[in-house]
């Protein structure tokens, strides 16, 4: 049987980095809290990475380190393109980036939403981000 059809032992591939996560082009608008979250993520990832020896023989540890390094590169890029937008001093009636908005649904239930950037968006937590490539 040809070696082309046999799964290799991975020799020589241990040091191969995972492909980078896609990053949207252009500025990454964040709230002050969003910038802090990016910084905290980078710090936590750096700690986790440093806890795994570079020359470990453990294949699971090697794979985990690769995933952590991939995430680290992603968050570094996101922080590098971050543009902090702080509209907290604007009048409460203005709905701008970073604003918290309270609205009522058709049953009269009140809901609170924050308008945030990509990195902070979490619909379940009421943090709404941009609708990239979607029609309203």
- Predicted confidence (pLDDT) per residue in 61-92, tens digit: 999 999 999 999 999 999 999 999 887 777 76
Looking at the domain assignment, is residue 101 inside a domain? no
Query: Encoding tokens for residue 43?
Result: 């710090």
The model's pTM is 0.68
**Mean pLDDT, 10 residues at a time, over the chain (136 residues)?**
46 63 83 93 96 91 94 94 85 78 88 86 85 44
Instruction: Note the pLDDT of residue 5.
Output: 46
> What's the structural domain count of the chain?
1
Instruction: Note the pLDDT of residue 79.
Output: 94
Looking at the domain assignment, is residue 8 inside a domain? no
Is the C-alpha dihedral spanning 77, 68, 117, 86 positive or negative? negative
**For residue 68, what are the domain limits?**
25-84
Instruction: Note the pLDDT of residue 123.
Output: 84
């Amino acid at each position: 049987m040809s070696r082309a059809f046999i799964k290799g032992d991975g020799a020589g591939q241990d040091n191969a980095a995972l492909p980078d996560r896609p990053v949207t082009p252009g500025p990454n608008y964040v709230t002050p809290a969003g910038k802090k979250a990016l910084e905290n993520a980078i710090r936590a990832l750096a700690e986790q990475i440093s806890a795994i020896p570079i020359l470990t023989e453990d294949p699971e540890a090697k794979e985990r380190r690769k995933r952590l390094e991939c995430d680290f590169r992603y968050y570094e890029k996101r922080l590098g393109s971050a543009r902090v937008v702080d509209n907290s001093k604007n009048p409460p009636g203005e709905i701008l980036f970073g604003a918290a908005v309270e609205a009522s649904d058709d049953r009269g239930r009140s809901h609170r939403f924050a308008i945030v950037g990509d990195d902070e968006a979490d619909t379940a937590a009421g943090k709404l981000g941009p609708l990239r490539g979607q029609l309203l």
